[in-house]
């Protein structure tokens, strides 16, 4: 899910294409792994306070800074990286741009791989940008509209996560949640009925 939603889906939604390297096709086929890079050591929940800068130099943007806690970072072939293109923008959210970054671009590297308590199915690391030249055509969406790109993806991700946590009808809890009103007893108490349902549920899944 991570490499599809964080790498492929934003490219499709915001109509990014590259004539010589169709990264979206590689992500869809599973040949490539994708990642999203927004968080930094001092910019987690307050993502618009990020410090990674992207300075325009002719037909390129030059990125300097780092990203932290990046899911799939050590393994990603294609990353969507968010950086400040206008440090004086008011509000600050209007000065952030999304970029397509590919593994092997000069000036881009991965650093420490982070050890985690759980979720070991994907690796997490720090990303380093040292005078990393990104072609201007690798801007995803519109210049300085990166927060729109970011939030449009995060909103969809939240819907997917809620489904995976029991709100789909393939799971017993989803069915119980949907049908809860049917368990009400108008002339008596619902507590007794809840005990009956709970015992049946425990007997089935213990």
H, E, C per residue of 54-117? EEEECCEEEEEEEEEEEECCCCCCEEEEEEECCCCCCCHHHHEEEEEEECCCCCEEEEEECCCC
Over residues 41-45, mean pLDDT? 83
Domain range for 197 is: 168-205
Single out the residue in 129, 146, 163 at which a domain terminates.
163
Total residue count of the chain as it appears in this document: 206
Instruction: For residues 9 and 76, state if they share a domain.
Output: yes
130: annotated active-site residue: no
- Residue 5: DSSP 8-state: I
Digit-coded pLDDT (tens) for 163-178: 555 555 566 666 666 6
What is the pLDDT averaged over residues 1-10?
A: 53
Q: Nearest to residue 96, comparing CAs of 78, 80, 79?
A: 80
39 with 128, same domain?
yes
Same domain, 101 and 157: yes
Same domain, 61 and 8: yes
Please tell me the predicted confidence (pLDDT) of residue 29.
Answer: 73
62-71, 78-87, 183-192: segment of lowest average pLDDT:
183-192
Same domain membership, residue 49 and residue 125: yes
The answer, yes or no, to whether residue 20 has pLDDT greater than 50, is no
Number of domain units in the chain: 2
Return the pLDDT at 46. Answer: 85
In the set 5, 31, 130, 157, the catalytic residue is 157
What is d(CA 116, CA 152) in angstroms, rounded to the nearest whole number? 27
């Amino acid at each position: 899910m991570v490499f599809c939603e964080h790498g492929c889906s934003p490219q499709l939604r915001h109509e990014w294409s590259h004539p010589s390297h169709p990264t979206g096709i590689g992500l869809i086929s599973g040949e490539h792994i994708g990642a999203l890079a927004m968080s930094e050591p001092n910019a987690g929940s307050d993502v618009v306070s990020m410090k990674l800068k992207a300075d325009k130099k002719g037909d390129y943007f030059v990125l300097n800074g780092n990203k932290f806690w990046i899911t799939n970072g050590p393994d990603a072939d294609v990353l969507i990286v968010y950086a400040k293109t206008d440090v004086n923008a008011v509000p600050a959210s209007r000065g952030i741009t999304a970029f397509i970054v590919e593994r092997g671009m000069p000036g881009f590297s991965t650093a420490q791989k982070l050890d985690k308590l759980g979720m070991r199915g994907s690796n997490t690391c720090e990303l380093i940008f040292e005078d990393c030249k990104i072609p201007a055509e690798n801007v995803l969406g519109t210049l300085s509209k990166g927060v729109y790109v970011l939030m449009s993806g995060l909103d969809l991700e939240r819907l997917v996560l809620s489904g995976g946590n029991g709100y789909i009808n393939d799971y017993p809890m989803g069915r119980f949640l949907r049908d809860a009103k049917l368990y009400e007893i108008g002339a008596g108490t619902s507590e007794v009925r809840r005990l009956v349902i709970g015992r049946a549920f425990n007997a089935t899944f213990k």
